[in-house]
Chains A and B, each alone.
Chain A
Amino acid sequence: MNFFNRFRKSHLLSKSASESIFALSSAYITLETKLGLKNTGRSAISLKAVDGMYFLTMKEEIRQFLDASRTDFDLTYRILIDTFGYLWVIIEGKNMEDQLAGVTAIGDIVYERGFADKLLATVFEFSNTSDNLCSIQYLIYNYRRNSFYPFIPLGQKNRDTEQEMKILSAVDQELRLEKDMTNWYPLWDLPL
């Protein structure tokens, strides 16, 4: 595979990922009206950290991008590495649209720098306003599968499957969802 093809492939991949993620710009309203789920303003993108110059350069580029766009997007951010060795870029902003623009732009940088195969997931955080507990619920976008699935941790590594299925059915028409539940891998102890 020559350089050009490789670039084009990464470009196409990044485009389809961005499209899938941007579908959330309408789906999050559905989640709010149907299930009373409110976006907490936090979302995060994670990728496997690797040693080396290129990766550090990319990380710096992400940082510069986020610093530069602070005025446009109204976002704050944190960057950290978790115990599994995954790099997390956690962004916080009032608007869902800003967050979506933020995570997809970061995704583009990762693609352009040739680390597309290291991308793990993008996570969006919601809180349930309809129950009194205000439980935290997540939508996980898996880059490899190019699809979303819900994740609701209950503590002790249990999850609320019933509510997860409700989320699945609520946004079935709007999002690319992972229909095969055996691929609904959790992300415990999210650093969001």
Chain B
Amino acid sequence: MIFSFAILTILYLVFLSVLAYLGVGYIPIILIASAMILAQWYFSDKIVLWSSKAKVVSREEEQDLHEMIERIVARNNLPKPKIAIIETSMPNAFATGRGRKSSVVAVTRGLINILDREELEGVIAHELTHIRNRDALILTLASLFSTVAWYLMQFGFYGGLYGGGYGYGDRDRNNGGVMLIILLVAMLTWVVSFLIIRAISRYREFAADRGSAQMTGKPVKLANALLKISGTMKRIPSKDLREVEGLNAFFIVPAISGSTIGNLFSTHPPVEKRVQKLMEMEASMS
């Protein structure tokens, strides 16, 4: 965690000093981009709730869910978030909001239906840990510079285009070269910070799993819930070993599952890894 933040910071410092060295007046752009990101962060809960069609539910509407969450927050000394439900059969959950006080935990109807009580508690505790750790803020800040880089990339592209159009003197040709450098640096900054943000995000997921395990004391329940949500549960076979042995083909297991590159880009660690870590916690608790 500290490592990726350090790299991120160094990266941004390098990026900014390159800008400073080139003496370009990009400060207005940075300010505008920052303002946009802050606005995005400030309205994030509303944007997310609106785009996911989540409906905030009152205590009367969903008494069981409210009571469950009240129990968890009371035990762990956390403020109670707003609770929202998304009417879809896809099992999922998320947390959003600016800070600990004004946050929302949303769950889908499908999640409530397929999980049993303790598994649902595990998932909700996971989301509550995201809120407690202020993960939304951390990721917004982390993506701040990558967004700035993205704007610069576009700006540099158009700038380069126009710069080339007027290019007849020495000064202008030189200017075109500068644009190209900015474009390249911005591009590189964006790509690398994108990957680092993904890494941070995956780390936050592990942290939230751990937090959930500590809150509920039952990591195995969250592991079970993850397996159910991901559909891995269905992949545990029910066909008899003696039947598949007859086919004899299944033992040739590819060494690489082909998902290693995909892992770099994903925001969540693979379910198998998360389950494995949860089971290690379970083992250390019992």
A residues near B, CB below 8 A? Answer: 34-35, 48, 82, 84, 86, 120-121, 140, 142, 144-145, 157-159, 161-162, 165-166, 168-170, 172, 179-188
Contacts and interface: CB of A to CB of B under 8 A. Distances in A.
Given A120-B241, A186-B241, A166 B220 contact: yes
Nearest to A85: B242
Interface string B241-267: 111110000110100000000000000
A186 B237 contact: yes
A182 B282 contact: no
Interface string B195-222: 0000000000000000000000000110
A161 to B, nearest CB: 6
B241 A172 contact: no
A142 B250 CA distance: 13
Given A185-B241, A188-B240, A145 B251 contact: yes
B280 A169 contact: yes
Contacts, number: 77
A184 B237 CA distance: 6
User: Contact size class for B?
Assistant: 20 to 34
Interface stretch (B31-39, B151-159, B227-235): B227-235
Contacts of A184: 236-237
28 contacts: A34-B286, A48-B245, A84-B243, A120-B242, A120-B245, A142-B241, A145-B251, A159-B238, A162-B224, A165-B220, A165-B282, A166-B220, A166-B282, A166-B286, A169-B220, A169-B279, A169-B282, A170-B286, A172-B279, A180-B253, A181-B235, A182-B236, A185-B239, A185-B241, A186-B238, A186-B240, A187-B240, A188-B240
Q: Give the one of A48, A82, A159, A188 with max B CB within 10 A.
A: A188
A90 B223 CA distance: 35
